[in-house]
Chain A
Amino acid sequence: NAGVIQTPRHKVTGKGQEATLWCEPISGHSAVFWYRQTIVQGLEFLTYFRNQAPIDDSGMPKERFSAQMPNQSHSTLKIQSTQPQDSAVYLCASSLGQSTEVFFGKGTRLTVV
């Protein structure tokens, strides 16, 4: 079990460019979560999928951010027209189901210059 795999581990984009972050949840896990971590805001929930269906995206910025889960083995978080304030560590997590342990990946550090 390699755990939740996130790629790339580091990404640097220029302001206005698009960034796509990838997540491979633990095999068999039905729930996938995305969080963002910054020094100022701490860990913030972005969105979550259950059985590939979007369940709650209340934490997603309304513009420029989108997440998808095209199959049970991967999810993507896309940020269009990146801005310096998007710089953060983006964490993907998965769990077997409700009320079970949530396992986090190592995160993708996004830097917008």
Chain B
Amino acid sequence: SQWGEENLQALSIQEGEDVTMNCSYKTYTTVVHWYRQDSGRGPALIILIRSNEREKRSGRLRATLDTSSQSSSLSITAAQCEDTAVYFCATDRGGSNAKLTFGKGTKLSVKS
């Protein structure tokens, strides 16, 4: 999982496989943001889950949030080569987008 003093993690999977990335956070948040960053580009928001949601889906993406354990996960179903990117979770303060705190990220490689 990503957070704290952990380094960037790396995952390598085959096209068509499912993958789950985990994130645990330390400070109170009402929203967990999941971003992906492609090489040479800035992070882009892919899914956002609020504290009153346990699960959120968007296409092949599924995010979960467990506020009791302060953890979130992002799953990708039937990964494609174009899903290759670095994925970050981020928290904010009370639902404001100011001062996002990012995890260290998971570098996902999807091979054909």
On whether the two chains bind one another, the answer is: yes
Cross-chain contact B8 with A99 (CB below 8 angstroms): no
Q: Which residue of A42, A58, A91, A107 is within 8 Å of B105 (Cβ)? A: A42
Whether the pair B42, A45 counts as a contact (CB closer than 8 A) is no
Tally chain A residues at the interface, Cβ within 8 Å: 28
Bound Cα distance from A27 to B104, whole angstroms: 30
CB of A67 within 8 A of chain B?
A: no
What's the count of A-B pairs with C-beta under 8 Å? 61
Contact A43 B96 (CB under 8 A): no
With contacts A91-B42, A104-B42 taken as known, whether A43 is within 8 angstroms of B88 at the C-beta atoms is yes
Q: Kindly state the separation between the CA atoms of A111 and B81 in the bound complex, as whole angstroms.
A: 31
Nearest-Cβ distance from residue B34 to partner chain A, whole angstroms: 12
Secondary structure of the B side of the interface? strand
Q: What would be 29 A-B contacts, judged by CB atoms less than 8 Å apart?
A: A4-B42, A31-B98, A42-B8, A42-B105, A43-B90, A43-B100, A43-B102, A43-B105, A44-B102, A45-B99, A45-B101, A48-B98, A48-B99, A56-B98, A95-B97, A98-B95, A98-B96, A98-B97, A98-B98, A99-B31, A99-B96, A100-B97, A101-B45, A102-B97, A102-B100, A104-B42, A106-B40, A106-B41, A106-B42
Listed in ascending order, the chain B residues whose CB lies under 8 Å from chain A are 8, 31, 40-45, 48, 88, 90, 95-105
